[in-house]
Structure 1
Amino acid sequence: MAAFKDFNLKLVVIDVLMYRQGLLTPAFDLDTRMRERGIEIPAVYVLENDIDDEILDESRTFFEELVIADELLAEVDLLCFDAGQEIYRHCAPAWGGEDDLFDIRSLDDLALLPNLKRVTAVHDGVLVAPGKWETFAARGIEAS
Structure 2
Amino acid sequence: MEPQPAVSRPAVFKDFNFKLLVIEKLMYQDQVLTPVFSIDELMEARGIGDVQSHVFDNDLAFTVLDESRTFFEELAISEELLAGVDELLVDGGNQIYYECSPVWDGEDDLFDVQSLDDLALLPNLKRLIGADSCAIVAPDKLERLAAQGVATT
Q: Is the structural similarity TM-score above 0.5?
A: yes
Greater gyration radius: 2
Bigger mean CA offset, 8-17 vs 41-50: 41-50
2:131 partner amino acid: V
Q: Aligned partners of 1:89 and 1:47: how far apart in 2?
A: 14
Q: Deviations over 1:40-83 (max 9, x none)?
A: 12112111211111100010000000010000001100011112
Alignment root-mean-square deviation, CA: 0.9
Q: Which residue of 2 aligns with 1:16?
A: 25
Opposite residue 64 of structure 2, the aligned amino acid is: I
Instruction: Give the aligned partner of residue 92 of structure 2.
Output: 83
TM-score, normalised with respect to structure 2:
0.91
Instruction: Provide runs of 4+ in structure 1 moved above 2 Å.
Output: none
How much identity, in percent, do the aligned residues show?
A: 55
Q: What is the aligned residue count? A: 144
Q: CA deviation at 1:116?
A: 0.2
Asked if 1:107 is matched to 2:104, the reply is: no
Native 8 Å contact 1:82 1:125 kept in 2? no
Over 3 Å counting, the alpha-carbon distance change for 1:125 and 1:18 in structure 2 is farther
Q: What 5-or-longer segments of structure 1 have no aligned partner?
A: none
8 Å Cα contact 2:132/2:142 also seen in 1? no
Which residue of 2 is the match for residue 98 of structure 1?
A: 107
Matched, 1:5 2:7: no
Name structure 2 gaps, 5 residues minimum. 1-9
Query: How many angstroms apart in 1 are the aligned matches of 2:98 and 2:134?
Result: 16
Query: Would the alpha carbon gap of residues 106 and 127 (structure 1) be closer, same or farther in structure 2, given more than 3 Å must change?
Result: same
Are positions 1:35 and 2:44 aligned together? Answer: yes
- How big is the shift at 1:124? 2.4
Aligned partner of residue 20 in structure 2, secondary structure: helix
